Chains A and B, each alone.
Chain A
Amino acid sequence: MGLYSQLKDSISRVTDRLFSEQEPKRIGIYGPPNAGKTTLANRIARDWTGDAVGAESHIPHETRRARRKENVEIERNGNSVTIDIVDTPGVTTKVDYEEFTDEMEKDDAIRRSREATEGVAEAMHWLREDVDGVIYVLDSAEDPITQVNTMLIGIIESRDLPVLIFANKIDLDDASVKRIEDAFPQHKTIPLSAKEGDNMDEVYDNIAEYFG
């Protein structure tokens, strides 16, 4: 197959996924634990529907089930785009219940770790089968070059899913958006603080432009 044909096929796979169906596109919010995925999902949902998606916490793995907020209509520049937001559990390759025992009893920590492992598996399944695009959320104050981030971005790219990288927590003193841009130069990075609501106009402009 010639280069032109391969290019055309690849682009058409992406555009077909984005434009061919009538129902809202499912946009998965992915990233490592504690990057602020649920805070972002709640910010978007509250801004455009008035409802929240789920509970937020400083303890990792607060989100242990993928949760979908349907029909989130985002209006930008006179146009509107309707998406389903899928807030997913943070992806990791390891879960140790002892990480939670400072915050809760052992039995609760074990239950939380079990649910977390099921949630990660569920998130991976959604990524392979059920999302049309990805918002990848990273904590700007953390080193983005981790194995989980590298693997997940690779998995997303291998499935030709459109992806935006959100450099969250820019309100923190140690935040470095450039470190994230340098780590994944092949993708657009948008700085924000979902908690403080900083730079949300640019966030919504890009969601509408990229997934609309």
Chain B
Amino acid sequence: MPKATNADDSDGSDGVQIDLISGERMENMATMEKIRMILDGVHDGNIVILEEGLTPDEESRLIEVTMSEISPDEFNGIEIETYPKSKANDSSLLGRIMGGDDSTAKLTVIGPANQIETLHKDETLISALVSRD
């Protein structure tokens, strides 16, 4: 996989790099490969957008690994946003057994905590403010 580069490294412009990662690219990756790819991008100051999100177990491990990498004055952690669960598609036991709740196909936005701020979120819209450090 090509190494993601920071916008500053590539053209010297004062911008924010956004990596849109397809579900196809993620589908054969192991959990830690996904987490490493996400956090490497975020450490570089990039905004990572996953077409199909992570499973609950992967989210749990992402939080755990993120915590282990927080360092004062260097990395404060991540901001992560997905659409909240639709009330019409709630997580009833029957729903989960039927497989309707297993899908992780939910657009997910992840960025450095000090650069991304969620302005609004509802079941159909995520509005975020992205700044350059």
Contacts and interface: CB of A to CB of B under 8 A. Distances in A.
Given A155-B59, A186-B91, A96 B113 contact: yes
Interface in B76-100: 76-82, 84-85, 87, 90-94, 96-98
Contacts of B124: none
A123 B87 CA distance: 28
Interface in A94-140: 94-97, 110, 113-114, 117-118, 120-121, 124-125, 127-128
Interface in A17-38: none
B77 A92 contact: yes
Interface in B43-100: 55-57, 59-61, 63-64, 66-68, 70, 72, 76-82, 84-85, 87, 90-94, 96-98
| Range class of the A interface residue count | 35 or more
| Range class of the B interface residue count | 35 or more
B64 A185 contact: no
Contacts of A120: 63-64, 67
A6 B94 CA distance: 9
What's the dominant secondary structure at chain A's contact region?
Answer: helix
A3 interface: yes
A155 B57 contact: yes
Contacts of A93: 63, 66, 77-80, 113
A12 B18 CA distance: 45
Interface stretch (A44-52, A143-151, A165-173, A199-207): A143-151
Interface of A: 3, 6-7, 10-11, 91-97, 110, 113-114, 117-118, 120-121, 124-125, 127-128, 145, 147, 150-151, 153-155, 157-159, 182-183, 185-186
Interface of B: 55-57, 59-61, 63-64, 66-68, 70, 72, 76-82, 84-85, 87, 90-94, 96-98, 101, 113-114, 118, 121
